[in-house]
Each structure stands twice: as C-alpha cells, then as structure tokens.
Amino acid sequence: MDRTHCNQVRAALLLTCTDSRHPAHSPALPRHFLRCAECRALRTYLLYQLLPGADIPDDSCALCESDLAAYADIALDAGARAAAAAYPHVWWHLWACPECAEVFAQTVALSVAAASGALPPLPMLRAASALPHREIGRRPRLAAEAEAEDAQDG
C-alpha cells in the first residue's frame, strides 16, 4: 500500500482523538481506506479507544446522512473527538464512504463560510402586497359539482 496515503489517512484518523476543530475528512481518504486493511484496523482500534465497549456502528449512508449536519456542527464547535463520541456511526461511516465524506466536506465548508460572513445575504423576498394581483374569477366547476347541480335542476 502507498505509505504516503497511509500516512495521510492515519494522521486524519489520529486527529479525531483530539479536540481539533478542523475536520479532516475528505473524499480521497475513504478511497484509500477501502483498499488498506491496516488503515481499517486502525479505525477499529481508535473506535474502541474513543468509546470503550462500543459495538461496530451501523455503516449505512441513510443513518449517516440523518446526523451529518449535527456531527459537523459539533466537530466545528467542540472538536473532532466530541463529534465522534456523540455520533460514532457518522464518524465510522465517513471513513468508508467517499460520497458521504464529500457531503460532509461541503457541509463544513458552507458552515465555515457562513460563520465568517463570506456568504452573500439571501435576496429579500417581495412582500405579498407588492406582487401583481390578478383577479381570480369563479373557479371552474368540478365535474361532480356540475352533475350534482344538473341533478337538482332536472
């Protein structure tokens, strides 16, 4: 296995044992991770260091996606270790899924940009009274209404 990639993955994994507020997940890491048994073993070892007695978490995209935003918020506010402890299934899954790691990286980038004021403000919506009005005439009769009226008349 390419030691450069192993070293990058291992450094990122070890960062999750700290209070770093700079999440290290990226889509490139899971691609290496899926091919490297040594890096996967380190992930398992670190899970047991972070959460003694924990079971291997469910590794589903749906479960990860449901808690991804909260995981990102905790990672940015309280650090990587706190996020991993609060959402171990997200931490676990991000190491194995390039797609979810990409969504996480984008979520973090957007959160950081929003917090720093780098995002432009959303355009203001026009008030409802400023929208052009069209008089709405009598609504079209439904077929059932027409039949009921015809039955009464006839």
Q: What are the tens digits of pLDDT across the range 73-101?
A: 999 999 888 998 999 999 889 988 999 99
Q: Which of left, alpha, beta for 53 (phi over 0: left; psi -120 to 50: alpha)? A: left
Q: What is the mean pLDDT of the chain?
A: 81
67, 87 contact by CB (below 8 A): yes
Q: CA 24, CA 60: separation in Å to the nearest integer?
A: 20
Is 0.85 surpassed by the pTM of this model? no
